[in-house]
A and B are shown apart, each in its own frame.
Chain A
Amino acid sequence: QKEVEQNSGPLSVPEGAIASLNCTYSDRGSQSFFWYRQYSGKSPELIMFIYSNGDKEDGRFTAQLNKASQYVSLLIRDSQPSDSATYLCAVNVNDYKLSFGAGTTVTVRA
């Protein structure tokens, strides 16, 4: 079983819609969870991190964490063409190491 799994893509949404990205993880001891965005040919850039159960909002992005279900999600509201990228879920499995999901590629159609 992979440590971090993301919903398979690609995900295509119309401009202005909500994009919903999901991630599950296998280690119940995981403490921290991150979403990175990676444009083609570029390195990952941090969008959000979340440590506690519940929702965390930052602009058009909302991260949701449910440790009991070992589930973390990212919602992108009012999707823009500039949001077209691959989104990587990362989990701190133990100290000093991040495990990444395979990524979900999002395309926002104008």
Chain B
Amino acid sequence: KAGVTQTPRYLIKTRGQQVTLSCSPISGHRSVSWYQQTPGQGLQFLFEYFSETQRNKGNFPGRFSGRQFSNSRSEMNVSTLELGDSALYLCASAALAGTSTDTQYFGPGTRLTVL
């Protein structure tokens, strides 16, 4: 079974631009979570989607948004990029209907650099 895929793998943007990142979960997985990883803050939860509904959101400004499509693929968008948004953005998928014991599997990530 193919793993979680993320595109693009690398991205360079300038301040003020916006960016859209894409994630395709493992086949059959319906939950998609997004995380930001930086050296200073570690892995931080952005949001989680299940059946096209956002069920939880982390403590990030409104510039960070996401959505999920009917095929479970997900996108996240960051508007008005800031230097501090430079990070590895990770997508993780989980199989099921949101029990607390579900296991998340990570994609390879998108490395975003903001200049």
Contact = CB atoms under 8 A, between A and B. Distances in A.
Given A100-B42, A100-B43, A43 B100 contact: no
A92 B100 contact: yes
Interface string B51-73: 00001101000000000000000
Nearest to A29: B100
Interface in B67-115: 88, 90, 92, 98-109
A30 to B, nearest CB: 8
Contacts, number: 59
Interface in A52-110: 88, 92, 94-103
Contacts of B31: 96
A47 to B, nearest CB: 11
Report the interface size class on chain A.
Answer: 20 to 34
A17 interface: no
Nearest to B108: A43
A59 B101 CA distance: 22
Contact of A34 (B50, B55, B103): B103
B55 to A, nearest CB: 5
Contacts of A103: 42
Nearest to B101: A32
A42 B31 CA distance: 22
Contacts of B88: 43
Given A43-B108, A44-B90, A44-B106, A99 B100 contact: no
Contacts of A45: 106
Given A34-B103, A97-B58, A103-B42, 5 more contacts: A31-B100, A32-B100, A34-B104, A49-B101, A98-B104
9 contacts: A42-B108, A43-B90, A92-B100, A92-B101, A94-B56, A95-B99, A96-B48, A96-B55, A98-B104
Interface of B: 31, 33, 35, 42-45, 48, 50, 55-56, 58, 88, 90, 92, 98-109
